[in-house]
Amino acid sequence: MKPNFSLRLRIFNLNCWGIPYLSKNRGDRVKRLGDFLNMESFDLALLEEVWSEQDFQYLRQKLLPTYPAAHYFRSGIIGSGLCVFSKHSIQEFTQHVYTLNGYPYMIHHGDWFCGKAVGLLVLHLSGLVLNAYVTHLHAEYSRQKDIYLAHRVAQAWELAQFIHHTSKKADVVLLCGDLNLHPKDLGCRLLKEWTGLHDAYLETRDFKGSEEGYTMVPENCYINQRELEPFPLGIRIDYVLYKAVSGLYISCKTLRTTTGHDPHGGTPLSDHEALMATLCVRHSPPQHTPSPTHGSAERSPLVSVLKEALAELDLGMAQACRWATFAGYVIGLGLLLLVLLCALAAKGEVREVAILLWTPSVGLLLGVGAVYLFHMQEAKGLSRSWAELQHVLGRAREAQDLGPESQPALLLGQQEGDRSEEQ
């Protein structure tokens, strides 16, 4: 690699709020989004909540001259809503659907039907391998009584693990999307600590946009103002995160957000604000990075966030087991009721009543059986994430106890070493 090597990447990210029949002015907003992307000619445009494949196909045709490569990530019943448009050729793509994604009986929330996922694109740019990830995590419907917190923590961990295991051959890693996590939330801290990703808003020296980088602001006419009552200035839940391997230096030269209206005037493109980042990658001479000070493992930021995540998953597993146990008891009572009804019908006693009660009893039993199976699956999914976190926590403590020189090998896996082994 030449010493004066440099690469500039212009990135666009937006949660498009494209729910068919429900999102206001969807068609007009999709049209104006296409016009804006053609005008700006970003290297990558990563979108969430493009729930209609017709909208994707419309954008695909409209953006084809500027973005010849594109992909729509399909999953779930409704779809993941994730899609990407690229000026550069896509070498590979894949996706991972999150194991846990809400509850099927919470129909009014709808997350379970969407198949929330993380999509991966592999691009080759100027001799570098870029892994670009786009994702959308489960929504937070109540800050005070968040019944989905364990699911979002598990999703954040699955996302971190997916990036960790798929980016070992990458020179540059980019993650964009609607994480539905505030910057100091457990899931966000877990993701950053385990992957080493940097937050463009915190790293850039040139920011223009909404106050504190908020991506949902009260000035936006599509926002449900009641949802923002606890946060009168707005919230930041959409991110551009990045990192580079040793020997390369990546920085965010500029970061822009929309501010509650169309970048060129008019109504907003979505109920979320768009993120527009300019990233610069250049060669960096080998530098000695001071090792963390040897000390108590319990004071390590990684150890602390792992312990928090384990505690939250413990609560989630206990809740799932309680629901499964309750459903199991109801199934037992339902089976006894069916046996009783069969006995009554066979003896001819209140035969008509027994037959009348048979159908709703079977229906109820099947419904409760589905609830039991779902919560058993939920408990196993949380248990799997818990086991992985517990293992990483043990390794982190071991690294801290052995000394600072062992930490990179045990915790970070020395990405360069992984790359050379696989090559």
Rounded to an integer, what distance in angstroms lies between the CA atom of residue 163 and that of residue 395?
Answer: 19
Question: Taking phi first (over 0 means left), then psi (-120 to 50 degrees means alpha), and beta for anything else, what does residue 342 get?
Answer: alpha
Rounded to an integer, what distance in angstroms lies between the CA atom of residue 183 and that of residue 180?
Answer: 10
* Two structure tokens written together for 329: 């008891």
Report the chain's C-alpha Rg in angstroms: 25
Rounded to an integer, what distance in angstroms lies between the CA atom of residue 404 and that of residue 410?
Answer: 10
* 88 catalytic residue (yes or no): no
Which among 91, 73, 92, 90 is positioned nearest to 82, based on CA atoms? 73
> Which residue type occupies 293?
T
**Which secondary-structure segment (H or E) carries 44?**
strand 44-50
**Which secondary-structure segment (H or E) carries 421?**
helix 415-422
Per the listing, tokens 């980016």 go with 167
DSSP 8-state secondary structure symbol assigned to residue 235? B
3-state secondary structure 311-338: HHHHHHHHHHHHHHHHHHHHHHHHHHHH
* Two structure tokens written together for 102: 């809400």
Rounded to an integer, what distance in angstroms lies between the CA atom of residue 339 and that of residue 346?
Answer: 11
* Two structure tokens written together for 4: 């004066």
Cα separations in angstroms, 247 against 9, 244, 278, 401: 18, 8, 20, 29
* Two structure tokens written together for 260: 């509650």
Which among 164, 170, 134, 140 is positioned nearest to 152, based on CA atoms? 140
Of residues 88, 272, 288, 294, which has the active-site annotation? 272
For the annotated catalytic residues, the residue numbers are 272
